[in-house]
Amino acid sequence: MSGKQLFAVLKKVCKPNTTVMTDQLSGYDILDRENEGNFVRLKIDHTVAYSLGDGIHTNGIESFWAVLKRGVYGIFHNVSVKYMQRYVDEFCFRLNHRNEEEAFLCLVNLAVK
């Protein structure tokens, strides 16, 4: 994905002045320059370290994408781009409620409504 494509997505989903944590993918280099969203980039170079300290890392999002990919391969097998946001939303819900004892009941209530 090119820097212009990534920037277009960021403009849609991020508020101005957002700090964006990335890995060393060169497409994000566009954020190192002055930009109209005034985004600030914090880059994690995994060839050097996995954290910038003070809790600044990309491990959480990398773990999320790994779980989503396993879900696609193991549960859905095939996904439509048209419904991709719904798949992402489902896995966000699962991640955010993974430690709740009542999570199953929440899912059933949502499905019944």
Q: Are residues 65 and 39 in the same domain?
A: no
Q: Are residues 38 and 71 in the same domain?
A: no
Q: Are residues 63 and 108 in the same domain?
A: yes
pLDDT in tens, 3-19: 889 889 999 999 999 99
Contacts from 58-63 at CB under 8 Å and sequence distance 24+? 58/21, 58/22, 58/23, 61/21
Whether 89 has a pLDDT exceeding 80, the answer reads: yes
Task: Please state the rounded mean pLDDT for residues 56-63.
Answer: 79
Q: Is residue 108 part of a domain?
A: yes
Q: Is residue 51 part of a domain?
A: no
Q: Are residues 69 and 28 in the same domain?
A: no
Report pLDDT for 17: 93
Q: Is residue 85 part of a domain?
A: yes
Q: Are residues 74 and 107 in the same domain?
A: yes
Name the percent of the chain lying above pLDDT 90.
15
**Average pLDDT, whole number, for the chain?**
84
Its domain, for residue 92, covers 59-112
User: 106: pLDDT confidence band, cut at 50, 70 and 90?
Assistant: confident
Q: How far apart are the first and last CA of the chain?
A: 39
Q: Is residue 30 part of a domain?
A: yes
